[in-house]
Structure 1
Amino acid sequence: MLNTSDAIPKAAFGIPGLDDVVSGGLQRDSVFLLEGSPGTGKTTMALRFLLTGAEAGERGLYITLSETERELRQGAASHGWTLDDSIEVFELVPPESLLDPDQQQSLLYSSDLELGETTRMIFEAVERIKPSRIVLDSLSEIRLLAQGSLRYRRQILALKHFFARNAATVLMLDDLTADTTDKTVHSVAHGVIRLEELAPDYGAERRRLRVIKYRGQAFRGGYHDFTISRGGVHVFPRLVASEHRTGFSRTLLESGISELDLLLGGGIERGSSALILGPAGTGKSLLVQQFIVQAASRGERAALFVFDEELGLLFSRARQMGIDLEGLLDTGSIFIEQVDAAEMSPGEFAHKVRRLVDEKDVRTVVIDSLNGYQEAMPEEKFLILHIHELLQYLNRQSVNTFLTVAQHGLVGDMKSPVDVTYLADTVVLLRYFEAIGRVRRAISVVKKRASAHEDTIREFRISDRGIEIGKPLQQFQGVLRGVPTFIGTDDDTLLMDDLN
């Protein structure tokens, strides 16, 4: 049975996000395993664990069998940390007699002497310092000295019982360089956290962690993205939409364009998502910017995440259409961030969105576009799951979400790189079509869950006044295919040009 009580004493990591994943920290007076290949961030996490204890007045001990004390202090300094007197680094090296060939015993294996001497030195250091938190780095060295699974297991059990008698919370590190299939410590440790580093074909490396085991304690399962930067490790817990529920009224929010509101059946419901589909250049970004402007006019805050466009060009184009994004940014009405999909994991992106919603009270979120977001994912099926959780979370926080997807092609049969139409509450379709020797644009609403909507196809035009939407194109057949057929009469009103 899982125990989720907050009354259980915990030793917090002090790492943003990680304490949430492990339900507040590590259970005190227990032994935990932190494993991962070299370079995944084990030492950085371990140092932060000891520093957090020092800030709470707890004494810490870092026992190192692989790195030197100088290397550890340099690593801490690279994050702006200083290992003060409350944290002692015990650099465990073999005694000189074991390094001198003339002093080595011929009747005993040198590994027997080294393992016993190493264990004795660890015990003496712990009894002398009496720390509350201990880091043992790394188990690979002890595994090599043991030279066998049975001796290794017995050695780990001996260490575990000794640490328990001394009332210490222990974090053992394993770099998985000796034997990656050996699960000895998994069965002995109270909990196991694994760190992984992924190398995509293009872009920066991706890091993630998973709690494999935490005895008697609930934890947040699955993979969680994390980054290492100056200042330490930042973990982005996997977003679970079902944990976030709020009550609100699903009122209609108008776009500010009367014809567009008619198409939408009066507007967009609060706490819903809208997907804008269309080929490049049809006006998807401008359309979602219209909703940002309306949110600002209502006194609400909006966030725009731009994947595909440089911000300077974005501001310039919006200004030409009568939208002052820079002015809204300066007043704090909107938050704009240019996202480099090659440098940011989906978990980190979801964390940024959630932070703006929770801390800045953002009520409109625009992701422009999902094409760029897709590049952050190794496989499309994971993208769908990420978007599903993100949209569900935003909807339950009364946030309106607008997504754009650039379809392949210009006219005829359009192909989308990712199909998320079934996730969105509203789907708006933009199309090019040819008529009277000109390339024109058409707009239609093909899906709306919350209410009825207009089923017509209207022409729209982009000018220095922004978006202008005309009357329904009742005189044409085949507009969505791109080459319509005129079925009206000579007296019928044709296109927007005829109305000016």
Structure 2
Amino acid sequence: MSGQNQHRQDRRTTGINGVDAVLGGGLLADSATLVRGPPGSGKSIFTLHFLAAADADETALYVNLGEPDEYVRSTARGFGFDADALEFLDLSPSGDRFQDEETYTLFRSEDVEAPSLVEDIRSRVEAVDPDRVVVDPATEFKYLTPDEHQFRTQILGLLDFLRDIGATVLLTSQAADSMPDDDLQFLVDAVINIEKQPNHRTVRVSKFRGSSVARGHHTLQISDAGMEAWPQLNPNRHGREFTSTTLSSGVPELDDLLKGGLPTGTVTFLSGPTGVGKTTTGIQFLSEAAKQGHKTVLYNFEEDRHTLMSRAEAIGIPLADMVDRGMLAIEEIGPGVLSINEFTHRVRTAVEDEDAELVMIDGTSGFKRSLRGVGSDPMAHLVTIGRYLRNMGVTGIVSNEVHQITGEFRATEKGTSYLADNILVLRHVEHRGTLQKVIGVLKMRTSDFENQLRRLEVTGDGLQVGESLSNLRGILTGTPNWTEGGE
């Protein structure tokens, strides 16, 4: 690699948690990047983060063509940035240089402003010798030039000048049909799009010369502490070597159904209607894994933490003890609290930083309702999470609610069965005026299993799985009948 190419691969941090990961390590040094977005999307906040992240030996220059100088300084201080450490060049319409209205009455604006603006910027750059430069917004130049050709010429000349002095540059533009910025996108090295959704923001990189980036829409949040991004999970970027073993449930009869237990590094669906015991069966696996020294995590979308723990204690599953010993983490996730990318970030943290070996998502209906940004195909996000867990050798358990209490059998709702390596079916059946539960294995991708149904009971002593119901017919219709010889 030549010295020049090596220099081009140097990175400059944006100063925004998560955005550098999306960019593959940050912005390329000496590059020009366009930050696009509608009004109020956070473009100026993005650029302030970039300037405030300058090293102690770097100089940062903010050229403001839109908002007045004091407004920008106040915004910077509001997010905890040291505005006094930044250099400013106020070329906004309300700035001192435009207070003389005679300038506008004697000449057309394009005859006097554009050349003067460029010279003002050049003069200040030569005086400051900045390492980081922001021009906000660059689209203001369009109002000051007579045609598109001159606009492009001036922007290209300015960018070449800034690159020659070794500056890394951010330009901003309003992303609107009334003010197209295709020419700016063509001239810069990278394009970052900030997009406002009804209840959240996303950041997307549509162009990045010289390096790969994380594609897709990544969650972007602005709080009193500033801006933060949550990258979209790409399972292809994650993986590690592991040896598959078998995870026992701690209930011998249930293990018999599974021919020993669940294969580790696979995803299992516990599928059935409400109240049939899906969560209880899942936490039975969690409890046994914790007893064997495996760290586990439960993401609870269906009920509050206190209710879950009380219900577990009532049937002899000591969740509180496992939590106290650090072998189980329970995260209660309410509606609208997290975006899908924030949630996958939590899963990654549990697996990669906290060494979780078993992850349970309880359940799919709450998952679809609770997370922002899942779009029209929430199951696609579960597919992504499942692939990530498999690649990392982590065992996944998902409680999946189907809506038929009895009647026509359906193991999973439409579009979910292909996500699972293993499917355990839990079912209500009505027999002789009583409502009972049964459990069976519908699918195991990597091992053999018992193709019988067994009676399931949830008692004060825990989960009880009975003998095979070989004499019962029509169980999956919900109204079974005993054959001759049945009790």
Please say whether Structure 1 and Structure 2 have the same fold, judged by a TM-score greater than 0.5.
yes
Deviations, residues 98-133 of structure 1 (Å, cap 9, x unaligned): 444445453x31233222332222222212211100
Which whole-Å CA distance do the structure 2 matches of 1:255 and 1:78 have between them?
53
CA distance in 2, matches of 1:120, 1:178: 30
Give the Å deviation of 1:40: 2.2
Task: For residue 14 of structure 2, give the secondary structure of its aligned residue in structure 1.
Answer: coil
User: Is 1:403 aligned to 2:402, yes or no?
Assistant: no
Partner of 2:26: 25
Between 391-400 and 183-192, the greater mean CA deviation after superposition: 391-400
* Change beyond 3 A, Cα 1:417–1:123: farther
Does the Cα contact within 8 Å between 2:91 and 2:97 map onto a contact in 1? no
Aligned to 1:440: 436
| 1:126 aligned onto 2:125 | yes
Any conservation in 2 of the 1:63–1:90 contact (CA below 8 Å)?
Answer: yes
CA contact (8 A) 2:374 2:381 kept: no
Question: Is 1:368 equivalent to 2:362 in the alignment?
Answer: yes
Structure-2 residue corresponding to 1:112 = 111
SS at match of 1:53: coil
Residue 469 of structure 1 corresponds to which residue in structure 2? 465
Equivalent residue runs for 1:294-313 within 5 Å: 294-313=288-307
For the residues of structure 1 that align with 2:463 and 2:430, how far apart are their CA atoms?
A: 19
Give ranges in structure 1 of 5+ residues lacking alignment. Answer: 200-204, 495-500
> SS of the residue aligned with 1:172?
strand
Residue aligned with 1:235, SS: strand
For 1:498, the equivalent position in structure 2 comes to none
Query: SS of the residue aligned with 1:422?
Result: helix
- Measure how far apart 1:65 and its partner are: 1.8
TM-score, normalised via structure 1 length: 0.90
SS in 2 for 1:131: coil
Query: Displacement of 1:373 after TM fit?
Result: 1.6
414 and 476 in structure 1: CA distance in 2 versus 1, 3 angstrom threshold:
closer
When the two structures are aligned, how many residues end up with a matched partner?
482
Name the CA shift for 1:380/1:196 in 2 (closer, same or farther; >3 Å).
closer
Q: Which moved more, 1:424-433 or 1:109-118?
A: 109-118
Q: State the match for 1:172 in structure 2.
A: 171
Separation in structure 1 between the aligned mates of residue 170 and residue 97 of structure 2, nearest angstrom: 30
Give the secondary structure class of the aligned counterpart of 2:15.
coil
User: Distance between the aligned counterparts of 1:313 and 1:90, measured in 2?
Assistant: 58
Q: Distance in 1 between matches of 2:195 and 2:136?
A: 18
SS at structure 1 position matched to 2:455: strand
User: Structure 2 unaligned runs (5+)?
Assistant: none
Out of 327, 333, 344, the residue aligned to residue 333 of structure 1 is 327
Corresponding residue for 2:416?
A: 420
Aligned match of 1:486: 482
Greater displacement, 150-159 / 298-307: 150-159
Aligned to 1:497: none
- C-alpha separation in 1, matches of 2:356 and 2:97: 66
Q: Deviations over 1:344-398 (max 9, x none)?
A: 2212111110011000001110101111222336677642332222111111212
Matched, 1:387 2:382: yes
Contact 1:248 1:398 in 2 (8 A): yes
Change (3 A) 1:325 1:81: farther
Q: If the length of structure 2 is used for normalisation, what is the TM-score?
A: 0.93
Counterpart-to-counterpart distance in 2, 1:479 and 1:445? 14
Alignment match, 1:65: 65
1:450 Cα deviation (Å)? 1.0
Aligned-partner SS, 1:392: helix
Task: Note the C-alpha offset of 1:218.
Answer: 2.0
Tell me the secondary structure at the aligned position of residue 255 of structure 1.
coil
Q: How does 1:177-256 map to 2 (within 5 A)?
A: 177=176, 179-199=178-198, 205-256=199-250
Residue 418 of structure 2: SS of its match in structure 1? coil
- Closer, same or farther in 2 for the Cα pair 1:297/1:397, shift >3 Å? same
Amino acid at match of 1:389: T
Tell me by how many angstroms 1:254 deviates. Answer: 0.6
User: How big is the shift at 1:155?
Assistant: 2.1
Determine if the alignment matches structure 1 residue 272 to structure 2 residue 266: yes
What amino acid is aligned across from residue 404 of structure 1 in structure 2? S
Whether the 8 Å CA contact 1:269–1:450 is kept in 2: the answer is: yes
Identity %: 31
CA contact (8 A) 1:410 1:432 kept: yes
- How far, CA to CA, are the matches of 1:50 and 1:125 in structure 2? 16
Root-mean-square deviation (CA, aligned residues, Å) is: 2.4
| Equivalent position SS for 1:461 | strand
